[in-house]
Amino acid sequence: MIKTGYKTKRTIGNIVSYIFLVLISIIWLFPFVGIVLQSFRSYATESGGMESYVIPHQFSLDNYKFLFSGETNYLRWYSNTVIIAFFVAVLQTIVVLCVSYALSRMRFKGRTLLMKSWLVLGLFPGFLTMICLYFLLKMFGLTQAGAIPGLILVSVASSGMGYYVCKGYFDTIPKALDEAARIDGASRSRIFFTMTIPMSKPIIIYTALVAFMAPWNDYIFASYVAFGHDKSYNVAVAMFRWVKTNDYQGYFTRFCAGGVLIAIPVVLLFMFLQKYYVEGVTGGAVKG
C-alpha cells in the first residue's frame, strides 16, 4: 500500500509538472510564433502594419520577396553580419583557446595576478569604453566605411579575458598526458595541437558559438561605429533604422520577415550543436 501510494503521488506530481512546463513553453513561444506568422501575411491584400489577429487571413511570401528585391540593402546588411560574426567566432576562439591553455598548463610569475586582474576588469561593462574606442578606431579609419574590420578588431582584441570556462575545461584534462608527451620530446605547441585540441571539441564549439552570438546580435556598438553609413550596417542596426525612418506600421510585416531570416542560422547552429554546447558548459564549470 505504501509503495502504491508513493507511485500515485509521484505520477500526479509528474503530471502537474508537465502541465506547468507545457504552459510556460506556450507562453514563451507565443511571441516567436506570432512573428513567424506575421511575416507570411500578404502585403498586397492585408495591411503591412500591426493587427489584432495573429494568424494571417492569406499566407504570402510578399515580405520575403521584398527583402530580396532591389528596393532594400537587406542582402548587404545580412552579408555584413555574417562576415563580422564569422571572423569574430574564428579569431576569438583561437585567442581564447591559446590563452586558456597557457593559464591552465603553464606556471609563471604574475599568473595569478593576471587572472585576478582580468576577472576584475571583466566586471566593468564594455560600454564605458565606447567613446574612447570610437575615437581610437576613427584615427585608423575603422569607423563608418571601415566599420566592419573595426567591429571585428574590437571584438577580438579583448577576447582573451573570457578564459574562465575554457580554462576550467582544460583543467579537467589530466596533466599526466602532457607530462608523458613532454618526456617523449613533444613541444608545448605540439601537445596543444595534436593532443589537447582533439580532446576539446565541446569547449571549442561552445567558445565559437558564444563568440558568434555576440556580433550577430550586436546593436549598440555596431550602430555607434557604423553611424551614418548604410553599407556598413549589420542587420540589427539596419532594420531598426529602416523601420524608424519609414512607416513602422506599414513595414511591420517586412520587419518580421527580416527577423525570421536572421534567426534561422542561430536556431540551426544550436539545434545541431546543442550536445557539444552543454558538454562545454558543464565541463568548464567543474574546476577553475
Positive or negative: CA dihedral 264, 265, 266, 268? positive
Residue 238: count of CB within 10 angstroms of its CB: 25
Which pLDDT score is estimated for 92? 93
Predicted local confidence at residue 95, as pLDDT: 92
Residue 287's pLDDT is 46
**For the purposes of burial, counting CB atoms within 10 Å of the CB of 94, is it exposed (0-12), middle (13-18) or buried (19 or more)?**
middle
Q: Given this model, what pLDDT does residue 132 score?
A: 86
pLDDT tens-place string over residues 172-194: 888 888 888 888 888 888 888 88
- Region for 110 from its dihedrals, namely left if φ exceeds 0, alpha if ψ lies in -120 to 50, beta otherwise: left
Would you call 41 helix, strand, or coil by DSSP? Answer: strand
CA 136 distance to own-chain centroid: 26
Three-point CA angle 188, 193, 196, nearest 5°: 85
Residue 249: per-residue pLDDT:
63
Give the per-residue pLDDT at 6.
Answer: 67
Q: What's the pLDDT tens digit per position in 43-98?
A: 666 655 566 667 887 888 888 888 888 788 889 999 999 999 999 999 999 999 98
Task: Of 225, 258, 233, 237, give the one whose Cα is nearest residue 155.
Answer: 225
Ranges in the chain, pLDDT < 70? 1-6, 43-53, 245-250, 276-288
Which cell is 46 given? 492585408
CA 187 – CA 207 distance, rounded (Å): 25
